[in-house]
Amino acid sequence: MYLEHYGLKEAPFSITPDPRFVFLSERHRDALAHLLFGIGQGGGGGFVQLTGEVGTGKTTLSRLLLEQIPDNTRVALVLNPRLSPEELLETICEELHLPVEGRRGSIKALTDALNAYLLDAYAQGLRVVLIIDEAQNLSTPALEQVRLLTNLETHTQKLLQIILLGQPELRDLLARPELRQLAQRITARYHLTPLDAAETTGYLRHRYRVAGGQHLPFDTAAIARLHRHSGGVPRLINVIAERALLGGYAHDDTRIDARTVDRAARETLAPAISSRTWRRAGPVLAAAGLAAAALVTLAAGMWSRGPGTPRASDARGNAGAIAVSHRREEVRRGRARGRGGVAGPDRRRRRTE
């Protein structure tokens, strides 16, 4: 709905990952370099650890990594690590297209099959990488099993490179005494931090330009307020900016000021989130991410992604679209009265009746 109002071809701040909208800050480039180092010749086997708060771009980086890995690399990607050691091994084998029937539930049989695969890959000059996302959810037994996989080696090198992606809790988990042997095998560590104020400005401009916009509607004060409310977390920047654009459309404004951003932040973020507390609010940020997804679904009836695209049939979304349209009409009538275009109510007459 608001796309034509701002001269856009598509929504610029969707929370759905899209490689066309990727903005790599200096921190993101460094993190990607660490990951590529981990699977390149410099990694030398062992573990690479990448941590970051919810919404800082770990998933985006993992997608970029998968696009940029060398052709001689085979990848096993584990997205749901809440598994037993046996289930984890089964998942790894399935990701590498190894048959697991007849081996399920047997750590030895699964490990032997994986070892045979790794030796064959090594003989063909291939590298094998295991990527575990949300690794802070791994149990201690599962982490110990992952550590044991690094024992699969030749006389000269490790056969499996392992990359652990997770929230800051992963660092605390690996600091436990019982996991010290695993921690000692981590060859590269990197913590992904949020965007600073200048990077937030670049992030907004980049996404707006990719969406077809010419001039970013957020003024300087609005951008500063957006950075403060979001703490520089890209996912939260998207949530607030998207809502601010809708608010500007509802008020028939083509410029977004600080007040509009403040209102958008109040409407989309939990009160507990602020620039001072976001680092300690991982669970809250996760909830905000879910809330953002719900908001996008709810507002699907409000926003059109282009001419001819049908609106969502969700009744609440349609009701929201009607409310926005009514608000825009009220704003236009008010402005017309201010210009003398439409006569306003006679207040003196109302008081005498």
Strand-pair partners of 158: 153
Residue 207 has pLDDT above 60, yes or no: yes
153 vs 200, residue with greater confidence: 200
Q: Kindly compute the dihedral angle of the four CA atoms of residues 222, 228, 232, 235, in this order, to the nearest 10 degrees.
A: -70
Which residues of the chain form CATH 3.40.50.300?
Answer: 26-192
Q: What is the pLDDT of residues 25-73, one digit of tens each?
A: 999 999 998 888 877 754 466 789 999 999 999 988 888 888 888 889 9
Nearest to 243 by CA among 222, 221, 270, 264: 264
Mean pLDDT of the chain: 82
163-167, 256-260, 347-351: the lowest-pLDDT one = 347-351
Q: What is the pLDDT of residues 90-131, one digit of tens each?
A: 999 999 999 998 899 999 999 999 999 999 999 999 999 999
93 contacts: CB under 8 Å, gap ≥ 6: 99, 100, 103, 110, 113, 114, 117
- Answer yes or no: are the C-beta atoms of 75 and 36 closer than 8 Å: no
Residue 293 has pLDDT above 80, yes or no: no
Q: Which two tokens stand for residue 118?
A: 């790794």
DSSP-derived 3-state class of residue 268: helix
Share of the chain above pLDDT 90, in %: 59
- H/E run at residue 130: strand 127-132
pTM of the full predicted structure?
Answer: 0.73
| Per-residue pLDDT, 35 | 86
Do the strands 46-52 and 73-78 form a parallel or antiparallel pair, or are they unpaired? Answer: unpaired
- At which residue do the structure tokens 């059109």 appear? 304
Q: Which two tokens stand for residue 49?
A: 């650890």
Residue 312 has pLDDT above 50, yes or no: no
Q: Which two tokens stand for residue 324?
A: 């926005």
Fold assignment, 26-192: Rossmann fold (3.40.50)
The string of DSSP codes covering 77-98 is: EES-----HHHHHHHHHHHTT-
- Answer yes or no: are the C-beta atoms of 298 and 317 closer than 8 Å: yes
Residue 295 has pLDDT above 60, yes or no: no
Q: What is the pLDDT of residues 71-100, one digit of tens each?
A: 899 999 999 999 999 999 999 999 999 999
- H/E run at residue 165: strand 160-166
